[in-house]
C-alpha cells in the first residue's frame, strides 16, 4: 500500500538588506512619491508614480527599462506604519486597471503577494521583502520557483538604487 507523500511547501522568495538610515526615513522613501527616485531594477527609471497608501488603495507606476515601458501597481492589503506593507503586485496596462502578463517572462504569475517589513536594527533599518505567487496556476508556480535567481538580481539592483538614493538625498 502506497503512503501519501507530504505536500511540498510553496517557495517564498525572501531578500533582505540593512541600510544606514532610521526607519522613519526608510518608510517615507517607500510610501511617498519619493519612491520614483529610486525604485526598480538597476538601470530602470520610474516615469510615472502615484501613491494611495491605505488598505484598498494602490500605488501605480510606469517604468522605463532597456528602452521599454512597463506599467504596474501595488494594491495595498495591509499597512502597519512604519513596520509593514502587504500588497498584491501586478503588471498592468498603461491605465493601471487591467492586469496583464509579465511583459518579458511568459508564465510569470499574474499577481504576487508582497510583504515588505521595516525592521529596526539600532539606528539602521533592515528591509525584508517576501514575494510569493497569489492564486497561481501550476505553470505560474513552476515559473516562479525556477526564477529565484532572477528575482535575487532584480531586488539586489533595486537595493543598490535605494542605497544610492540615500547617499545623494540626505
Residues spanned by the domain of 118: 15-168
What is the β-pairing status of strands 112-121 and 68-80? unpaired
Per the domain annotation, does 160 fall within a domain? Answer: yes
Per the domain annotation, does 5 fall within a domain? Answer: no
Cα 118 to Cα 127: distance, rounded to the nearest angstrom? 5
**pLDDT for the residue numbered 3:** 54
Cis peptide before 16 (omega within 30 of 0): no
**pLDDT for the residue numbered 4:** 57
- The H or E element that residue 28 is part of is helix 23-31
Length of the chain: 170
**pLDDT for the residue numbered 66:** 87
Per the domain annotation, does 19 fall within a domain? Answer: yes
Per the domain annotation, does 6 fall within a domain? Answer: no
Per the domain annotation, does 2 fall within a domain? Answer: no
CATH assignment at residue 76: 3.30.530.20
Query: Which residue, among 55, 57, 61, 94, has the nearest Cα to 77 in the 3D structure?
Result: 55
- The 10s digit of each residue's pLDDT in 66-76 is 889 999 999 99
Number of folded domains that form the chain: 1
Per the domain annotation, does 143 fall within a domain? Answer: yes
How is the beta sheet containing 13-19 ordered, strand by strand? 13-19, 124-133, 112-121, 84-92, 68-80, 58-65, 45-51
Per the domain annotation, does 73 fall within a domain? Answer: yes
pTM: 0.91
Per the domain annotation, does 52 fall within a domain? Answer: yes
Amino acid at each position: 500500500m502506497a503512503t501519501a507523500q507530504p505536500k511540498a511547501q510553496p517557495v517564498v522568495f525572501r531578500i533582505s538588506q540593512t541600510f544606514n538610515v532610521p526607519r522613519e526615513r526608510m518608510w517615507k522613501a517607500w510610501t511617498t512619491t519619493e519612491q520614483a527616485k529610486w525604485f526598480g531594477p538597476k538601470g530602470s527609471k520610474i516615469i510615472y508614480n502615484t501613491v494611495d497608501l491605505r488598505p484598498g488603495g494602490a500605488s501605480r507606476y510606469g517604468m522605463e527599462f532597456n528602452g521599454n515601458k512597463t506599467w504596474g501597481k501595488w494594491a495595498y492589503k495591509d499597512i502597519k506604519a512604519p513596520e509593514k506593507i502587504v500588497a498584491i503586485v501586478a503588471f498592468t496596462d498603461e491605465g493601471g486597471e487591467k492586469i496583464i502578463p509579465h511583459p518579458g517572462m511568459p508564465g510569470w504569475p499574474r499577481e504576487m503577494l508582497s510583504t515588505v517589513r521595516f525592521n529596526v536594527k539600532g539606528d539602521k533599518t533592515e528591509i525584508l521583502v517576501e514575494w510569493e505567487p497569489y492564486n497561481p496556476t501550476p505553470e505560474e508556480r513552476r515559473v516562479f520557483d525556477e526564477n529565484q535567481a532572477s528575482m535575487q538580481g532584480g531586488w539586489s539592483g533595486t537595493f543598490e538604487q535605494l542605497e544610492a538614493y540615500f547617499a545623494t538625498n540626505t
